[in-house]
Amino acid sequence: MAQLQANDLTLAYDKVTIVDELSLDIPTGEVTIVVGANGCGKSTLLRALSRLLKPAGGKVLLDGQDIHTKPAKEVAKTLGLLPQSPTAPDGITARELISRGRYPHQGLFKRFSAEDEAAVNRALELTGTMELADRAVDELSGGQRQRVWIAMALAQETELLLLDEPTTFLDVAHQLEVLDVISELNRTRGITVVIVLHDLNLAARYADHLVALREGKIYAAGHPNEVVTERTVKDVFGMPSRVIPDPVAGTPLVLPIGRHRVLRTENVLAAQGIVRSPEFVELTKSAVKQEPTVADELQTPVLAPQEVEPAQLRPGAEHLATLAYQCMVMRTQDLTPAFRRITVGGTDLSHFGTNSHSLDMRIKLLLPPAGGSALTEEIAALRPEALSSPAGQEGWYRRWLSIDPSSRGYMRTYTVRAFREVGHRDNLGDTAELDIDFVMHGQVVNGALQGGPATEFADRAQVGDELLLLGPNRALSDETYGGIEFRPGGARRVVLAGDETAAPAICAILEALPANVTGHALIEVPDTDDILGASTRSGVSVQWLTRGTNEHGVLLAAAVKDVVAIPAAGAVHTDADPEDIDIDEQILWETGAAESAPFYAWIAGEAGMVKELRRYLVREAGINRKQVAFMGYWRRGKTEN
């Protein structure tokens, strides 16, 4: 079989260098596809490979011999080329055109022989153009015409076939038709094929060997799976993209990212030059052993300047489900003596969200230590733009916990009372913002409230104060995000029960519940002053219980027992005693996921109270534990770190 190689090939038109010292081995018997941006020199390369262009430097070797030292007709017997836009003479029939492919095999005076005739018939057969043979070429459809041209190149009966953009100006069905014909020829007759193609996805699908050209040099070469990566696409075509497996062919599929009509996350990532599959360098190196590629040189300038270790570090926004958001206090508002609403905002929050409902979305507040900052190394690495690697992020929480609280501050879980993106009708700021309702526990000492760190933070919060929080990364989160524990599934009847610490969450859930849900919301608050406005369009009836001098949780337990009655004996299996949890040592946190049950209960608040309610609901009322979420937010008399 014929071997085609390029050695240090330099190609130039009028002293403008198009291809620069390029070396390439065309794999024999395979389909090689050359891709690259407009003007990268791919067509020029093809012209040089087919002897049409004399190189300014280097050589093209056909079977080891310089192609320009061979007579044109000799070359034309082993190497056929279909140029980009050949012209069919007016009125010529397909068979006449195809017959012209026999020119290199005909002598000066030799007439059209039986052998020529047979070759033409074979070409017609192989390209499925037999029935078009007698039609005028200018009457044919684009795809048919292109098949006829391929047949002409085939009638040349060469072992190598080079095609320059054979699918240009064809609709997608005809593009496939043409590429299928070429593929077929390669498979059945072992013809070595080189195609210049501009459609990257078709190239990835049809190539055995893909060559990506960039500014006249080979940027990457190898199997399409190795070559087609987001980084290659970015560097070769200057276009951000996502590369996913082609569900039809299994080859890489490039989805371009323009500036408009693209999901916001993709747009943001693209604008920042983020690629998701940067590992092509190693792959290419192993795939193209003998050839130096420019990939190595490009590596450094292509990556972001601050990135020292190549290909490993990526912005957190790209791979961390939970991000640290640097926010600033925008407004504070005293709702009741026990509740203070802090509204925070910040540009980081453009990454915030779960792309789903906002029912009970919990976040972690990082409350700074006295006179210090909560922005530790571990937390800084969680910022959306901070560069990190998934492996490096493992165990960050343990590392954070091991720091002395007086220098790292405290982490507290709070529910997002409301989240408003930029442009929301109630958001007048320039950035997304969220409301957090703080519960003010503690005693006033010398005019300042003393209590837990969150209480103290909320009490002293001023507009402009900074607040770090951990929350879902909207690029990577959906309704399964760990911070969402309200998972009613298909339940139509719900019970929401909790003390004042659960009140903001219950209010937020109520606001988001759909109209077809009924049930009860029971909220125990310290005083009548602390009853918050809670609106809902659902059928859930809301009951505020004021504790007054009662023991914490007593009123709530009674109310829950009222709305969830103990069923008649034998109706349900009731002695499923839940295993005991030492709420002073462990966190009581059980979340169910009621898939199809009609009832769902959500209990949150002080751990002792929640434990009591859990025992009642599971053991006495016989409710399946999967249908109840129990969350001990805090433990009386104990501060967490």
Partner 1 sequence: MSSKEITSTTSGLEANKPTRAAARSHRVHRSVLWMALAIVVTALAYLFWGRDRLPAVEVLQVLGGEKVPGTSFIIMSDRLPRLAVGALAGAGLGISGALFQRWLGNPLASPDVIGVGYGASAAAVFAMIVLGYNDWKLNAFALAGGLLVAALIYWLSASGKRTGSRLILAGLAIGAMLQALIQYLLTQAQLNTASDVMHWLTGSLSSSNWDSALLLLVPLGTIAVFLLPFVLRQLKMLELGEDAAAALGLNVGWARVLLVFVAVAMGALPIAVTGPLAFVAFLAGPISAALTRGPINIPLAALTGATLVIVANFFAANLFADLSLPVGVITGAFGAPFLIWVLVRTNSTGSGG
Complex with partner 1: residue 85 or 290, whichever CB lies closer: 85
Complex with partner 1: residue 81 or 607, whichever CB lies closer: 81
For β-strands 628-634 and 362-367, DSSP reports them as unpaired
Q: Which of 101, 252, 368, 498 binds partner 1 (CB under 8 A)?
A: 101
Query: Is residue 88 within the footprint of partner 1 (CB under 8 A)?
Result: yes
Region for 261 from its dihedrals, namely left if φ exceeds 0, alpha if ψ lies in -120 to 50, beta otherwise:
left
CA dihedral over 352, 357, 358, 360, signed as positive or negative: negative
Whole-angstrom distance, CA of residue 256 vs CA of residue 374: 39
Encoded tokens for 553 = 């949780």
Whole-angstrom distance, CA of residue 231 vs CA of residue 234: 5
| Nearest-5° Cα angle at 70, 110 to 72 | 45
For β-strands 16-26 and 192-196, DSSP reports them as unpaired
Helices and strands in the chain, H and E counts: 21, 28
Encoded tokens for 391 = 């492996």
Least separation in angstroms between residue 136's CB and partner 1 is 7
Q: Which residue has the tokens 């409230």?
A: 449
Complex with partner 1: residue 82 or 363, whichever CB lies closer: 82
Give the count of residues interacting with partner 1 (CB under 8 A).
46
Least separation in angstroms between residue 206's CB and partner 1 is 22
**What are φ and ψ of residue 518, in 5° steps?**
-120, 180
Complex with partner 1: residue 50 or 538, whichever CB lies closer: 50
Encoded tokens for 367 = 């409350």
Contacts of 68 (CB under 8 A, 6+ apart): 51, 54, 55, 59, 60
Q: Which of 15, 64, 111, 425 binds partner 1 (CB under 8 A)?
A: 111
| Nearest-5° Cα angle at 477, 389 to 349 | 80
Pick the closest to residue 324 from 251, 361, 375, 254 (CA basis). Answer: 375
Whole-angstrom distance, CA of residue 534 vs CA of residue 521: 10
Least separation in angstroms between residue 169's CB and partner 1 is 14
Contacts of 507 (CB under 8 A, 6+ apart): 417, 437, 532, 534
Query: Is residue 91 within the footprint of partner 1 (CB under 8 A)?
Result: yes
Complex with partner 1: residue 77 or 441, whichever CB lies closer: 77
Stretch that binds partner 1, among 50-58, 231-239, 313-321, 407-415 (CB under 8 A): 50-58
Complex with partner 1: residue 64 or 71, whichever CB lies closer: 71
Whole-angstrom distance, CA of residue 83 vs CA of residue 53: 13
Least separation in angstroms between residue 157's CB and partner 1 is 12
Query: Is residue 44 within the footprint of partner 1 (CB under 8 A)?
Result: no
Complex with partner 1: residue 185 or 467, whichever CB lies closer: 185
| Nearest-5° Cα angle at 90, 88 to 91 | 110
Stretch that binds partner 1, among 93-101, 227-235, 254-262, 355-363 (CB under 8 A): 93-101
What is the 8-class DSSP label of residue 419?
E
Least separation in angstroms between residue 162's CB and partner 1 is 8
Complex with partner 1: residue 116 or 378, whichever CB lies closer: 116
Least separation in angstroms between residue 21's CB and partner 1 is 24
Query: Is residue 2 within the footprint of partner 1 (CB under 8 A)?
Result: no
Q: What's the one-letter identity of residue 357?
A: H
Complex with partner 1: residue 120 or 496, whichever CB lies closer: 120
Residues 119-148 that bind partner 1 (CB under 8 A): 120, 133-136
Complex with partner 1: residue 60 or 317, whichever CB lies closer: 60
Residues 498-537 that bind partner 1 (CB under 8 A): none
Least separation in angstroms between residue 55's CB and partner 1 is 15
Least separation in angstroms between residue 9's CB and partner 1 is 18
Query: Is residue 609 within the footprint of partner 1 (CB under 8 A)?
Result: no
Residues 244-283 that bind partner 1 (CB under 8 A): none
Least separation in angstroms between residue 32's CB and partner 1 is 17
Neighbours of 190 (CB within 10 A): 12
Query: Is residue 100 within the footprint of partner 1 (CB under 8 A)?
Result: yes
Query: Is residue 596 within the footprint of partner 1 (CB under 8 A)?
Result: no
Query: Is residue 117 within the footprint of partner 1 (CB under 8 A)?
Result: yes
Stretch that binds partner 1, among 46-54, 254-262, 418-426, 611-619 (CB under 8 A): 46-54
Complex with partner 1: residue 103 or 395, whichever CB lies closer: 103
CA dihedral 132, 136, 137, 139 (to 10 degrees): -100
Q: Which residue has the tokens 């829950």?
A: 560
Query: Is residue 234 within the footprint of partner 1 (CB under 8 A)?
Result: no
Separation of first and last alpha carbons in the chain: 74
Complex with partner 1: residue 20 or 116, whichever CB lies closer: 116
Q: Helix, strand, coil % (nearest 5) of the chain?
A: 30, 30, 40
**What are φ and ψ of residue 306, in 5° steps?**
-80, -10
CA dist list (Å): 188 to 150, 151, 180, 184: 15, 15, 12, 6
Least separation in angstroms between residue 213's CB and partner 1 is 19
Region for 383 from its dihedrals, namely left if φ exceeds 0, alpha if ψ lies in -120 to 50, beta otherwise:
beta
Q: Which of 1, 13, 66, 103 binds partner 1 (CB under 8 A)?
A: 103
Residues 57-86 that bind partner 1 (CB under 8 A): 71-77, 79-86
Complex with partner 1: residue 158 or 477, whichever CB lies closer: 158
Whole-angstrom distance, CA of residue 168 vs CA of residue 85: 9
Neighbours of 64 (CB within 10 A): 7
Least separation in angstroms between residue 89's CB and partner 1 is 5
**Beta strands per DSSP E along 171-315:** 192-196, 209-214, 217-222, 241-245, 252-256, 314-315
Query: Is residue 156 within the footprint of partner 1 (CB under 8 A)?
Result: yes
Query: Is residue 383 within the footprint of partner 1 (CB under 8 A)?
Result: no
Contacts of 637 (CB under 8 A, 6+ apart): none
Least separation in angstroms between residue 99's CB and partner 1 is 5
Q: Give me the DSSP letters along 366-432.
A: EEPPTTS-S--HHHHTTSTT-EE-HHHHTTHHHHHHTS-HHHH-EEEEEEEEEEE-TT-TT--SSS-
Least separation in angstroms between residue 27's CB and partner 1 is 21
Complex with partner 1: residue 103 or 587, whichever CB lies closer: 103
Complex with partner 1: residue 149 or 419, whichever CB lies closer: 149
Q: Which of 32, 44, 99, 265 binds partner 1 (CB under 8 A)?
A: 99
Stretch that binds partner 1, among 45-53, 56-64, 286-294, 467-475 (CB under 8 A): 45-53
Query: Is residue 168 within the footprint of partner 1 (CB under 8 A)?
Result: no
Stretch that binds partner 1, among 47-55, 216-224, 235-243, 616-624 (CB under 8 A): 47-55
Neighbours of 176 (CB within 10 A): 17
Complex with partner 1: residue 112 or 490, whichever CB lies closer: 112
Chain contacts with partner 1 (rule: CB under 8 A): 47, 50-52, 71-77, 79-93, 95-97, 99-101, 103-104, 111-112, 116-117, 120, 133-136, 153, 156, 162
